[in-house]
Structure formats: C-alpha cells, structure tokens
Amino acid sequence: MPTITLLGPQRFTPTLGEAVARAGISGRLASVTAGWQEREAEDLELHEHLGERTMNLMLYARSEDVFERDPQLAAAYRERQERLRELQELYRLRLDYAQTALRELELRSGDPELLAPERESALQAIRALDEHHLARVDEVHAGFVRQHHPAGRPAVERHSRQMVRQLEKVDGLAIAGGHVAILINRMRLFDLDEKLAGKAVFAWSAGAMAIAERVVLFHHFPPQGYGNTEILEHGLGLARGLVLFPHAGRRLALDDRRRVAVLARRFAPALCIAMADGAWMALDERGHAEGVAKGLRSSGMSRLMADGTVVSLEAE
Amino acid sequence: MTLAISSLLAEADLQPSRIDAFLAGHSAPIVEGRTVTFLFRGEADAVFLQHWIFGLPSAQPFTRVQGSDLWYLTQEIPVRSRVEYKLEVQRGDVSRLIRDPLNSQLAHDPFGANSVCLGAEYRVPDWVSPNPEARPGKLEKVRVASTTLDGAQEVQIYLPARYRASRRYPLLIVHDGADYLHFSVLKTVLDNLIHRLEVAPLIVALTQSRQRLRDYAAHGEHSRFLAEELLPALEARYPLQKGAASRGLMGASFGGVAALAAATHYPGRFGRLLLQSGSFAFTDIGPSRRGPAFEPVVAFVNGFREAPARVSERVFLSCGVYESLIYENRSLVPILQSSGMDVRYVESFDGHNWESWRDRLREGLSFLYPGPLWMVYE
C-alpha cells in the first residue's frame, strides 16, 4: 500500500513541493499527466516545481502506442468506451428523474410525518441507482479484462515492464489532474495501482478523484441543465472512505444547505471533501482519513456535512 | 412603494439646489422594481424617450417638473430587462437625438452607441469580462480565394488557447465576425467559456461581408462561398474534425438568415446552427412590408415554411421579446422542430442589439459545442 497525500488544484496555488518535503521524500518522483492527454509531455512547470526530480511515465503516449501496436485491443477498448458512454447516458436519464423527485419533495411543504419518509426513500432510491450503475460499469470492465486480458498482451506488458523499472528508481508518484476518465483508464490499462507498494503518492484534482473509491462528477452551475452530481465509476480505491470535490468553491453551491446535505447523505458513510486550491491531506497507512479529521494532517480541506454545513477539517 | 420621483414631486417649492441633490443621490435612470424613471435636466420644449421596444410607442414623452428644468418619464420595465435608448430633445424647431447625459451605461454598435437601462435583476454575465485565469486564444487573418463573391475574402480565425496542430477541432463560421468581436466581445467570451470547460475548444472563422444585404439575404452565391470555398480552405489549413456535427454556422439578424440559408442550400454540411434574432421575414398572404432588401429573405423563409427540412442537426435560436422579429422567430421554432432537428429556443427581455446577442452566447455555444465540464478537473 502506498502512502497517500491528496492535494487541491495546483495551478494557482502549487503546494506539491511542500507536500513532498513534508512526506520526507528527497529522491526522485515519477509523474502521471495522462489527464492532459496530448499535452502530457508539457510538464516543465511540474518538473521545475519539484526541483527537476520528476520522470514522466507518459501513460497517455504509452497507451497510444499500445493501441497502434495492438489494433484488436484498440478496437475492443473503443467498443468498451462506447458501451460505458451509453451506460452513463442511461444512468443519467434515470438519475435526472430521481434527483427531480427528491428535489421536489425537499422543496414541498406539508406534514413532516408524511414528507420525511418520502424524502428519505427518494434519497435511498438515488443511492440504490448509484450502486446499480457502479455494478453495471464494473461488469463492463470485468468483461473487457476477461475477454481481452490486456495485462497479458505483449504491447501492454512491454510498457508495464518499463514502468516497473522506472518506478524502482523513484520514491514516489505525482498524479496530476485533467480528464478524469482518460486518466483512470490509462492507469487501469497498465495496472499502475498494483505497482505502487511502498511508494508515496501525491495526487491532485482529477488525480485525487481517480484514486478514490468512487469517481463522482459534479458541477452545480452548468450552462445546460440542473447540474445533477453523478457517479462515473469505481476509482482505483487507494484513498478510502472519501468522495473528493476539487474546485469545490467554483463548482459547488457550498452555501446551498439543501444541496450540500444531499451530497453528504447520498455518499455516506464516505466523507465528502471539498478541496480548495492548494489544500492538502495526508492519509493514514491504510488510505483512510480518520487521523485527518483531527486536523493534524491536512490544510484547506472541508467536509460537507449531513446538515448542509461545510466544516473545515482543521476546525473539526 | 413610493417612487423616488413621486416623493420629490410631493415636495413643495422645488429649488434647483434640491433637484441637484436629488440627481446626486440617484443614479439615472432610477430602477425601482419593475418601474424605471428616466430623467433629463435642461432647457427643452419637449423630451422623448426613443427606444426600440416593439409593442410600445417608440417615442415616449417626458413630463416637466413644474417650474423647473427637470423632466421625467416613468415606465414599466420587466425585471431582467435590458433596454437601449436615446433621448430626443426638442427646442424650437430643432430636435436632437442624444445619449442620456445622466447615464454612463453605454452599448456600442456599428452605428455608434446607445444609453442602456439595466432593469431590476439584470446582471451583466461574468463571462463577458476578461478573466486573468483564462488562457487567451489567438486571432489570425487568412485570405480565402473566392470566385463566387467579390474576389478574395479576408477571414479572421480564432484559435483556442493551447491550440495544437496535432489535435482536431470543431469549426464555427460566424457572420458579421468583426462586429461580434467588437460589440459582443466574442473573443473574450470564447476564451472564458473554453477556460470554464463549458464550451469545447474550437476554431472560429469570423467572416465579414462587403455586401451584407445582398450576401446575407439567402444569397445562393454566399452559401456556395461558405460550403465550397471557405470550408475546404479551412479544412486544408487547420486540423478540423470531420462531419456535420463538428461544423457550425452562426449569425445575428440578416446573418442568421445567411446561416440558415447556407445550411438549407447544403443540407447535412453544417450540423450546428446558432441563429440570433434572425430576420426570418415571411408572408402568409400578400407582399411583405419590410422593404425590398427583405424580398429574397421572404422568398427563402416562405419556401422553408412550406417544406421544412432537416438541414442541420442541432439549432440554437434566440430572440429578444422587445424586437419586432420576435413574431418571426417564434413562428420559426415549431417549423424547425417539425423537421426533426434538435432545437433550443431562448427569449430574453432585450432588443435587437449586440449585447443581447452577447448575453445568449453561453447558452448557445454550450448547447452546440458542449465542453468537457463534467470530465476535466485540472
């Protein structure tokens, strides 16, 4: 199990260097910037920020190379992604109605004895739908692995071996944000999470979301639609018991107690964590945040509470 | 609620110093809920509010406060409205059309500038001002050879921030592109909406016609220029995504007509249409009263109404309720929908002007070219 530090967005408030120093890492670090897609190699700022100690694993370029060398896997991968997209659409359709029902019930006035159980039931329906969706997505991923054995294919194996050798030379791994689905897919293709034992992992924004147990997509102010928070899929599960919301100040209506409460209750018992720019949180050796709740090992992180408030972890 | 002007009028013996104090204590026009009080101070025989609100008399007379040089007009303006206006000041035989001297809010257009009244609850969108966090895109000029129009055409190209030749982009072709840049701050809007991930990084071709009333009036040669000259030239020069879903046309007023006409002349070529306050004049019987420039437009729109076709895939249509064109635009919506196109129609409490069109760009562009908002967390 690697040791994990989660970080808030880094573009305007870079705190990665401090986090690395705080974790006592003085050696080299590997980096994953696959979420930047074709800009993956444009990591000079990150490289300089860490004192030119980084070595980019180039997951995105490696996956492109795999797909070029193994057209059969590439076709299967595309087909899987198409199925996942379709599944997400179907989930979204059902979620829209379920969220609307809950919203209307919560805004309705009337006898609390009648309303409260209906509201609770509507929330449970959303939780059940989330679980259902996660299970369906897992099936698709499992089917892909069962049928195509990506880890055992020569093109993947070759890159995996190279990465293992690269990782042997570093003390830790920095996982940047970007496109969360692309990032997680690339890490999953090379089973990166299984290669990180004993390493220190520093992950921010989409990187942090990708290593949590569930990847939750969110925006309360989209230009189209209401902005229903939705689950994408299981993450790599290195950070446990947490649902992570980077850019929360920009993307969430944190002063809307009703919406905050729904998030907290929907994802309980996981803690919903709003990550401010430059925030950090060091998890315990099992990837949990229990020690963090005491405010000893985090800064700039807030928790969404079931009563709709947002509480700084340091203040808890 | 007692209006500020009513309180003033209730005072006895209004001295100039009291009027000075009143004006100093209020920003003009005075917006109080749904009621707006326009003010003018100066020597005049009559003062009128000149506006472009369809449905109201275009010249609304002010009333002089007895024994003073203060004039006022109280007008109901719905919340969230944005109204452009001028004042007509008559003195003797001379009548002058001026901007409101007491109001610093201006909106510019190709003909100059108007004063602006911002109704209650209207907010200038935050994405129309430069955002230092947004990486800027870049503008460059290209010349496109044309045998269909009057020789080579100069087109400005917007390339999004972090543009890479190795990536493929959707395309939007904009009519009156220079005006959109100047009066609807289109570059800033694109930079901001792309930065906010609400709109996909896209390449925008900003065209500007030298003979607008001819070219934009459903002119076949203009459509041919877009589809057979401009589009291939852009595809040869820039990394554009293939397929109609990645190609769009946009325009306001006559530019909206040009966009729909080009899509109709080349069905299936342009899968995205952003039509703002389109001059979609039509007749059910008899001739149009909109003038000769509209004749080809009327012929085109009448033809489209008779045989609506799925010429595009997704259409965003917007119009201000204070425009005379609201009737034509509302009429077009069910016709577009009946063709099987995915149509989004939005109305605003605004008129036929560039800031109204600016204010609808977020809804329109994010509908036609949705960005990776839900997937990207940098």
Which residue among B95, B118, B141 closes a domain? B118
Comparing CB atoms, the residue among B164, B366, B375 nearest residue A223 is B366
Contact B377 A223 (CB under 8 A): no
pLDDT band at residue B156, thresholds of 50, 70 and 90?
very high
Contact A9 B133 (CB under 8 A): no
- Contact present, A280 and A248 (Cβ < 8 Å): no
Q: Give residues 81 to 140 of B whose Cβ lies within 8 Å of A.
A: 133
Quick one: B219 and B328 in the same domain?
A: yes
Which residue among B118, B140, B169 closes a domain? B118
Q: How many domains does chain A have?
A: 1
Quick one: B74 and B162 in the same domain?
A: no
Tell me, what's the pLDDT at B341?
98
Q: Chain A closest CA to B121's CA: distance in Å?
A: 18
Quick one: B302 and B323 in the same domain?
A: yes
User: How far, in whole angstroms, is CA B333 from its chain's centroid?
Assistant: 18
Q: Chain A closest CA to B15's CA: distance in Å?
A: 49
A220-245 pLDDT tens trace: 999 999 999 999 999 999 999 999 99
Quick one: B180 and B51 in the same domain?
A: no
User: How far, in whole angstroms, is CA A265 from its chain's centroid?
Assistant: 19
Contact B373 A178 (CB under 8 A): no
Residue A111 phi, psi dihedral angles, 5° rounding? -65, 115
Across the A:B interface, residue pairs with CB atoms under 8 Å apart total 54
Q: Chain B closest CA to A163's CA: distance in Å?
A: 24
pTM of the complete model: 0.92
The answer as to whether B375 is a domain residue is: no
C-alpha–C-alpha distance, residues A273 and A214, integer Å: 13
Strand pairing class (B342-348; B314-320): parallel
C-alpha–C-alpha distance, residues B377 and A34, integer Å: 13
- Tell me the CB-side half-sphere exposure of residue A147, using CA atoms within 13 A: 13
Contact A217 B378 (CB under 8 A): no
Residue of B nearest to A248 (CA): B377
SS3 at position B298: helix
Whether residue B376 lies within 8 A of chain A, CB to CB, comes out as: yes
Whether residue B165 lies within 8 A of chain A, CB to CB, comes out as: no
Q: Where are the alpha helices (DSSP H) in chain B?
A: 4-10, 16-25, 177-183, 186-195, 212-215, 220-224, 231-237, 254-265, 295-306, 326-338, 354-359, 361-368
Q: How many domains does chain B have?
A: 2
Query: Average of pLDDT values for A292-299?
Result: 64
Q: Which residues pair with B63 in a beta bridge?
A: B72
Quick one: B191 and B317 in the same domain?
A: yes
Quick one: B9 and B83 in the same domain?
A: yes
C-alpha–C-alpha distance, residues A70 and A80, integer Å: 15
pLDDT band at residue B29, thresholds of 50, 70 and 90?
very high
C-alpha–C-alpha distance, residues B196 and B127, integer Å: 9
Comparing CB atoms, the residue among A9, A179, A247 nearest residue B375 is A179
The answer as to whether B87 is a domain residue is: yes
Query: What is the pLDDT of chain A when averaged over all its residues?
Result: 95
pLDDT band at residue A294, thresholds of 50, 70 and 90?
low
Quick one: B87 and B193 in the same domain?
A: no
Q: What is the largest CA-CA distance in chain A?
A: 65
The answer as to whether B373 is a domain residue is: no
The answer as to whether B186 is a domain residue is: yes
CATH code of the domain in which A14 resides: 3.40.50.880
B311-350 pLDDT tens trace: 999 999 999 999 999 999 999 999 999 999 999 999 999 9
Quick one: B265 and B281 in the same domain?
A: yes
Quick one: B55 and B199 in the same domain?
A: no
Which residue among B118, B142, B162 closes a domain? B118
Supply the range of the domain harboring residue B17.
4-118
CATH code of the domain in which B172 resides: 3.40.50.1820
Quick one: B235 and B354 in the same domain?
A: yes
Supply the range of the domain harboring residue A76.
3-315
C-alpha–C-alpha distance, residues B358 and B150, integer Å: 29
Query: Average of pLDDT values for B347-361?
Result: 97
Beta-carbon contacts of residue A84 (< 8 Å; ≥ 6 apart): A137, A140, A233
Contact B376 A206 (CB under 8 A): yes
Quick one: B290 and B231 in the same domain?
A: yes
C-alpha–C-alpha distance, residues B1 and B9, integer Å: 15
Residue of A nearest to B165 (CA): A38
Whether residue B310 lies within 8 A of chain A, CB to CB, comes out as: no
C-alpha–C-alpha distance, residues B373 and B315, integer Å: 21
In terms of Cα–Cα distance, which of B247, B274, B127 is closest to B197?
B127
Residues of A in contact with B169 (CB under 8 A): none
B41-58 pLDDT tens trace: 999 999 999 998 888 888
Quick one: B362 and B267 in the same domain?
A: yes
Residue B137 sits at the vertex; the CA angle it makes with B135 and B142, to the nearest 5 degrees, is 170
Whether residue B318 lies within 8 A of chain A, CB to CB, comes out as: no
